[in-house]
Amino acid sequence: MKGVMIQGTASDVGKSLIVTALCRMFANEGVRVVPFKSQNMSNNSYVTKDGKEIGRAQGIQAEAAKIEADVWMNPILLKPRSDQDAEIVFLGRALKTLSGRRYRETFYEKGLDVIRESLEQLKKQYELVVIEGAGSPVEINLKDRELVNMKVAELANLPVVLVADIDRGGVFASIVGTLELLDPQERQRVVGVIINKFRGDISLFEDGIQWLEKKTGIPVLGVLPYVENHMIDAEDSLSLNDQFSNKKKGNLDIAVLHLPFISNYTDFEPFLYEEDVSIRWVKHSSELGNPDAVIIPGTKSTLHDLNTLRDIGLDHLISSHIESGGYVIGICGGYQILCEEIIDEAGSDTGIQNRKEIGLGYIPGSTVFHQEKETKRVTGEYHEDTGFQVNHRVEGYEIHLGKTVLHQEGCSFLRLENGTKEGYFGKNGQIIGTYLHHLFHNDEWRNQWLNMIRKSKGLPNKEVISISDFKDKRYDAIAANMKKHLDFDLLKDKIHQWGSI
């Protein structure tokens, strides 16, 4: 199997988007292409068809490659639970929680083994792999036991393309400095450079390209333009911050609480398609203002983030928001936070068994944390308690440790395919809680919820905006745009001139 590895001079230079576009470009040429990232650190995850958990970026890249995602595309996922610790998801299942030091000391050989195994599994099914690195390949303090950059290129025996972000400034120093810090054998793998997020007249940068190629002896394969609101799910919140900040102001103001350990924040990207919706992050109580709706998202550390909301006074502001008729919806950890009580029975959220906390109390229910995590795709329909048309299909996925039990009847949100009641629907939809990630990617539901808010403001209803098909078209559009600014033929030559795994 041939392939290429995309590494970057830093985080958020655009590696994930470039890998996504390359997967679609090769797939459109009839190549059986597959994405791969050995180790991902993100609380933004994707549930595979068989209920396994991988990094969100690799799930999206698989969609772009026109294939079904599986765990071999991202065998190790690290989900931060504090500033020091992260949950290790190994081949799609939660394994244990370790500090960064313990992980480096005890997991390196196990990590190498599963990376080799994953590459062998992918080799059986695909012709070409596009591998994504992480951060920078020259983090000197981490290089001796790294599992995600040049060590992976060595294991796969593939060439490397280095990506730099010109929008940040310092692009020449970042490229030359990265190359200078690579070992000689590592530097020999770098067959090209891509400069990303360029704004303005490309002719003004031609001298810069010539200087780089002369200085490094490595061709610049392309200078890619800055893509506003590319609508491809983000791997980390840096990218999503840019998309939210670039969203035009609309009649509906939706505030999403940016919890310290927020997870699956791509749940809210569909609002970027709604012209009359303004969506924004809120990190501090001074930023909340008077939104029409507040969304409390998922979190990798529910009790920590609940106490953070209290510490900064957002709990009182949410209470005032509800009392004044504002809408609130909690997704996964946000659902748990809205409940009356949270019990960490297994110590799986805090590390302290049987720790209890009083929740915000707007949903009449208790959440108990157990040891085993649930990860599954689910399908259901509106529950009759909502008063909505009950045969309307809703799809999503669940990733959670806690289980929530409501203390009253007649307030369920959904009925799942297996007959189970799911979530909370109260005050005619003013307060909703659910474990379903991807909820707002259901076009009919998103429209229904927004129309409830529009009606409360005396605004006319809007028609459903379908984003389901648009996303696939967006993969083609991103690929076509990149192809215009990338020497794709030269890149393919570099790939085919190299050996294969």
Catalytic residue numbers read 332, 437
Q: To which residue do tokens 């690799």 refer?
A: 58
Q: Which amino acid is at 207?
A: D
Q: To which residue do tokens 């390209």 refer?
A: 209
The C-alpha atoms of residue 26 and residue 128 are separated, in whole angstroms, by 9
Q: Which amino acid is at 329?
A: I
Please say whether the dihedral angle defined by the alpha carbons of residues 87, 88, 91 and 95, taken in this order, is positive or negative. Answer: negative
Are the beta carbons of 265 and 240 closer than 8 angstroms? yes
Are the beta carbons of 301 and 335 closer than 8 angstroms? no
Say which residues have a Cβ less than 8 Å from residue 365's Cβ, sequence separation at least 6: 339, 340, 404, 405, 406, 407, 424, 433
The C-alpha atoms of residue 204 and residue 469 are separated, in whole angstroms, by 38
The C-alpha atoms of residue 75 and residue 35 are separated, in whole angstroms, by 12
In angstroms, what CA-CA distances link 386 with 327, 378, 428?
A: 15, 19, 7
Q: How many residues appear in the chain?
A: 501
Q: Calculate helix-pair angle for 468-485, 15-28, nearest 10 degrees.
A: 90
Q: Which amino acid is at 419?
A: G
The C-alpha atoms of residue 87 and residue 85 are separated, in whole angstroms, by 7
The C-alpha atoms of residue 178 and residue 192 are separated, in whole angstroms, by 13
The C-alpha atoms of residue 164 and residue 136 are separated, in whole angstroms, by 10
Say which residues have a Cβ less than 8 Å from residue 493's Cβ, sequence separation at least 6: none
Q: List, in sequence order, the alpha helices (H) in 265-377.
A: 302-311, 314-323, 333-338
The C-alpha atoms of residue 208 and residue 294 are separated, in whole angstroms, by 46
Q: To which residue do tokens 């696939």 refer?
A: 472
In angstroms, what CA-CA distances link 42 with 118, 235, 316?
A: 20, 7, 30
DSSP 370-421: EEEEEEEEEEEEE-GGGTS-TT-EEEEEEEEEEEEEESSSS---EEETTS-E
